Amino acid sequence: MPSQSQNKRYSPLEQIPHHVAIIMDGNGRWAQARGLPRLAGHRAGTENLRRVLRATVEFGVQVLTLYAFSTENWGRPKSEVQGLLSIFERMIDRELSELHEEGVQLRHIGRLEHIPARFQRKILNAVALTKDNQRLILNVAFDYGGRAELVNAIRRIITDGVPAEQVDESLVSNYLYTAGCPDPDLIIRTSGEMRLSNFLIWQAAYAEIYTTPILWPDFDKDELYQALQAYNKRERRFGLATE
């Protein structure tokens, strides 16, 4: 049976952010509140991706970036890390065909070298298969960290022998994992935390930040619409003064 949010009519929004990024936080607390193991929360959070993707497309967002696994997450208990890798690998197996049919272009941002070889191949296959799709660009930040991204960019600039006087903001942006993708207009963080947690720290310079106490597995179409409504009430000045 369709949920109430599926049948609900939403008032048009004057401004739709081109690029929305989400820090999907709260899976563990969601599971703990229900007396379930943490991996049950991660599975619920993964299942939630479907409805958020559909809502994102319906509201007209063109780029969505999801913070799926950080460089720091390797420090979690081994059983949880292995479980997370299995969950995401199974998700690719299960969802890739439908995402491709629906016009979603998958991109990976982050490091690949620490990811198990079989999972790497599946990520690269998904990126190659969907590279020409245009309905929605979905950046999945997996083994991603903003500081690691900047270190990687600096190393590549040095390796390429770029003279110091040629290094500017545009050049640095072109060496990031997100090269060719516009900076996020809106960053949403679930679970009520008030920090970026090493996510898109270069790209987020002028993004609007929205936090909600809702835990990620419960973040639905209504919650996304509320975030977009809040974005519509913001005045984006990009460091400039208004008269």
Tell me, what CATH number does 156's domain have?
3.40.1180.10
32 and 38 Cβ atoms separated by less than 8 Å = yes
Q: Kindly state whether residue 223 falls inside one of the protein's structural domains.
A: yes
Range of the domain at 134: 15-232
Instruction: Report helix angle 78-101 to 49-59, nearest 10.
Output: 40
DSSP 60-77: T--EEEEEEEEGGGGGS-
pLDDT band of residue 106 (cuts 50, 70, 90) is very high
pLDDT of residue 130: 98
Q: Which amino acid, 100?
A: H
Nearest Cα neighbor of 86 from 116, 110, 109, 58 is 116
Q: What is the 8-class DSSP label of residue 176?
A: S
Q: Are 181 and 18 in contact (CB under 8 A)?
A: no
Residue that wins the pLDDT comparison between 227 and 12: 227
pLDDT in tens, 174-214: 999 999 999 999 999 999 999 999 999 999 999 999 999 99
Give per-residue pLDDT as tens, 60-93.
Answer: 999 999 999 999 999 999 999 999 999 999 999 9
Output the pLDDT for position 219. Answer: 98
Tell how far CA 44 is from the center of its chain. Answer: 17
Percentage above 70 pLDDT, the chain? 94
What confidence score (pLDDT) does residue 1 get?
A: 38
Judge whether residue 2 has pLDDT over 50.
no
- How many domains does the structure of the chain reveal? 1
Residues identified as active-site: 25, 73
Q: In what order do the strands lie in the sheet with 63-70?
A: 104-109, 136-144, 63-70, 19-23, 186-189, 208-211
Amino acid at 236: R
What is the 3-state secondary structure of 19-35? EEEEECCCHHHHHHHCC
pLDDT of 55 > 50? The answer is yes
What pLDDT does residue 9 have?
A: 86
Q: Is 135 part of a structural domain of the chain?
A: yes
The number of residues making up the chain comes to 243
Q: 107 lies in a domain?
A: yes
Residue 241 has pLDDT above 60, yes or no: no
Task: Return the pLDDT at 235.
Answer: 81
Model confidence at 221, in pLDDT bands (50, 70, 90)?
Answer: very high
Residue 7's pLDDT is 65
Q: Express as a percent the part of the chain with pLDDT over 90.
A: 91
In a domain, 142, yes or no: yes
Exposure of 106 in the CB half-sphere (CA atoms within 13 A): 21
Residue 237 lies in a domain: no
Q: Rounded to whole angstroms, how far apart are CA atoms 1 and 87?
A: 26
Is residue 28 assigned to a domain? yes
* Per-residue pLDDT at 238: 67
